[in-house]
Amino acid sequence: MKRFLGILVAVVAVAPLATPSARAATSGNATVTLAASASTMVQIIDAAIALVPTSTDYDNDFVEAAGASGLRVRVKTNSSTGMVLKVRCADATPQIALADLLIKTQTAAGTGGTTASSYTAITGSDQNLWSTGVAQHTLLTVTTDVRVQNLFAYDDANGGGTTNYTNTLTYTVVAQ
């Protein structure tokens, strides 16, 4: 009986090495799925702007920063139906009257989009500034022209110096 057990162990130990059909797989498949969602991005380039009226501005009763002097933001989206850039002044007590703070953009609208091309008073709720109806894969700069009118309504409390009046604009990008 001892002899039979020793032979059986020897056969079991050698059997896996002698079988030519026991090989590992040489190829296989795997599937990768990207579940893309519409995404937007906004970057504020100019976080602040100071409008300092000249005597000519007081004669005209407004001061403005337009074009390269305006507020710049950069936007992009992967939404195939585009996006809308919105702006608002959500200050609880704005120092510049909202009716006196006007905005527009000279940035051309994207394909199928619109642009606010004439000065409009800012409000406390979102206003459409610029849009496109297609994906905007690269960052695009949109410039906000800013005008403050009714200059004589803003007193200089320091008597001979300057008094700052500040409002904060909030930009939002929404995929369409």
Q: Is residue 2 part of a domain?
A: no
Name residues whose C-beta falls within 8 Å of residue 23's C-beta, 6 or more positions apart in sequence: none
Gap between the Cα atoms of 163 and 152, Å rounded: 13
Closest CA to 77 of 136, 141, 129: 136
pLDDT in tens, 26-58: 899 999 999 999 999 999 999 999 999 999 999
Maximum Cα interatomic distance, the chain, rounded to a whole number of Å: 120
Q: Is residue 125 part of a domain?
A: yes
Q: Token match 């001979």: residue?
A: 160
Q: Is residue 147 part of a domain?
A: yes
pLDDT in tens, 108-161: 999 999 999 999 999 999 999 999 999 999 999 999 999 999 999 999 887 778
Q: Is residue 24 part of a domain?
A: no
Q: Can you tell me whether residue 151 is helix, strand or coil? A: helix
Give the count of alpha carbons within 13 A of 1, CB side only. Answer: 0
Q: Is the pTM of this model over 0.75?
A: yes
Q: Is residue 29 part of a domain?
A: no
Q: Is residue 17 part of a domain?
A: no
Owning domain of residue 148: 40-152+169-175
Q: Is residue 62 part of a domain?
A: yes
Closest CA to 95 of 34, 145, 164: 164
Gap between the Cα atoms of 156 and 153, Å rounded: 10
Amino acid type, 118: S
What spatial distance separates the first Cα and last Cα of the chain, rounded to whole Å?
Answer: 83
How many distinct structural domains can be found in the chain?
1
Q: Is residue 78 part of a domain?
A: yes
